[in-house]
Structure 1
Amino acid sequence: MKKSFFLLLGLIVGLIAANAWAEGSATKDECVIKCHEAAAMINSKGLEAAIKAIGDPKGPFVWKDSYVFLMNLDGKMLAHPFHPELTHQEHVLLMTDPTDKALFVHFVNLARTAGHGWVEYMWPRPGKTTPSKKLSYIYRVPKHDLFVGAGVYVGGMIY
Structure 2
Amino acid sequence: MGVLRKALVLVGAVLMSMGVAFAQTASVSEDDVKALTLKAADYIAAHGVADAEQAFTQEGEFKFGEIYVNVIDFSGNWVIYPPKPENKGRNVLNFVDEDGRHLGEDILNTGKAGEGWTQYRWKNPATNMIQPKVTYVKRVPGQELIAYIGIYK
Report if TM-score (shorter chain) is over 0.5: yes
After superposition, the Cα gap between the structure-2 partners of 1:50 and 1:132, relative to the gap in structure 1 and judged at 3 Å, is same
Give 1:98 shift.
Answer: 1.9
Whole-angstrom distance in 2 between the partners of 1:86 and 1:130: 22
TM-score (norm 2): 0.74
Quote the RMSD (CA, aligned, Å). Answer: 2.2
Q: Compute the displacement of 1:22 (Å).
A: 8.6
Match of 1:99 in 2: 99
Label 1:101 to 1:48 Cα distance change in 2 as closer, same or farther (>3 A): same
Mapped to 2, the partners of 1:98 and 1:38 lie a distance apart of 29
Q: Which runs of 5+ in 2 are unaligned?
A: 1-22
Matched AA of 1:73: F
Runs of at least 4 residues of structure 1 off by over 6 A?
Answer: none
Contact 1:136 1:149 in 2 (8 A): yes
Say whether the 8 Å CA contact 2:24–2:65 is kept in structure 1: no
Cα distance in 1 for residues equivalent to 2:99 and 2:25: 29
Secondary structure of 1:46 counterpart: helix
CA gap of 1:142–1:48, structure 2 versus 1, over 3 A, is same
Distance 1:120 1:41, change over 3 A: same
Instruction: Give distance in 2, aligned partners of 1:48 and 1:101.
Output: 32
Max Rg structure:
1
Aligned to 1:66: 67
**Which of 50, 53, 76 is residue 51 of structure 1 equivalent to?**
53
Match of 1:117 in 2: 116
TM-score (norm 1): 0.72
Whole-angstrom distance in 2 between the partners of 1:55 and 1:126: 18
The one-character-per-residue Cα deviations of 1:83-102 (angstroms, maximum 9, x if unpaired) are 3343242x221121222221
**Identity over the aligned pairs, expressed in percent?**
27
Work out the CA distance in 1 between the residues paired with 2:148 and 2:100.
20
Opposite residue 121 of structure 1, the aligned amino acid is Y
